[in-house]
Structure 1
């Protein structure tokens, strides 16, 4: 019983320190990020890649096409970035000498 009496004040003090009183954090709304990013569709046909991107949002999106070629000796490419304004579309194209391993589009907020 003595052990409980000696630990009770310590336990209560730890609980008070770890649990802040109601209202300390307030009722802040959870911030939702603004929607962003052009929707891109990538088509691979043999050694050629075409990406068509459309931006339905208000912020400009800077997109760039990246192509990784299948063959070790084939040069991978990172295309020049293009700005896609609100309600605008852009076409990006690139190629490998032989087969395409993978292709993707990167996005950057302007």
Structure 2
């Protein structure tokens, strides 16, 4: 039986590929920069109620809407009316589902005059 010999450059190349592959796969994509009109919003869920606190640091009015997806199939999802946040302004939006909440998010739209 004859043994196969590996040259050290080949062994180094294989080691590098095996080491680099998990590193490359674990890198997360860069987050996209926010448009320069989107207010800073944070959401919180308390039981069946959802609240969004938004502050607009930009010189353009931002129209925000609170969206709530309810957990139960028979529970109606909620979309609030658009609310304008003037520059340096803040707003709190609150709404609810009858039962549990699955997801909450805020959408943004610039108010162009």
- TM-score of the superposition, structure 1-length normalised? 0.68
User: May I ask how many residue pairs the two structures share in their alignment?
Assistant: 78
Shift of 1:38: 0.2
Larger of the two Rg values belongs to structure: 1
Shift of 1:36: 1.7
Shift of 1:60: 0.2
**Can you give the 5+ residue segments of structure 2 that lack an aligned partner in the other structure?**
1-33
Partner of 2:41: 40
CA distance in structure 1 between the aligned counterparts of 2:102 and 2:44, rounded to whole angstroms: 13
CA distance in structure 1 between the aligned counterparts of 2:64 and 2:74, rounded to whole angstroms: 26
Indicate whether 1:62 and 2:63 are aligned. Answer: yes
Shift of 1:41: 0.6
How far does the alpha carbon of each residue in 1:65-106 deviate from its partner, in whole angstroms, 9 at most, with x for none? 000000000010100110000000001001000000001000
How far does the alpha carbon of each residue in 1:29-70 deviate from its partner, in whole angstroms, 9 at most, with x for none? xxxx97221000101001000100000000000000000000
Partner of 1:88: 89
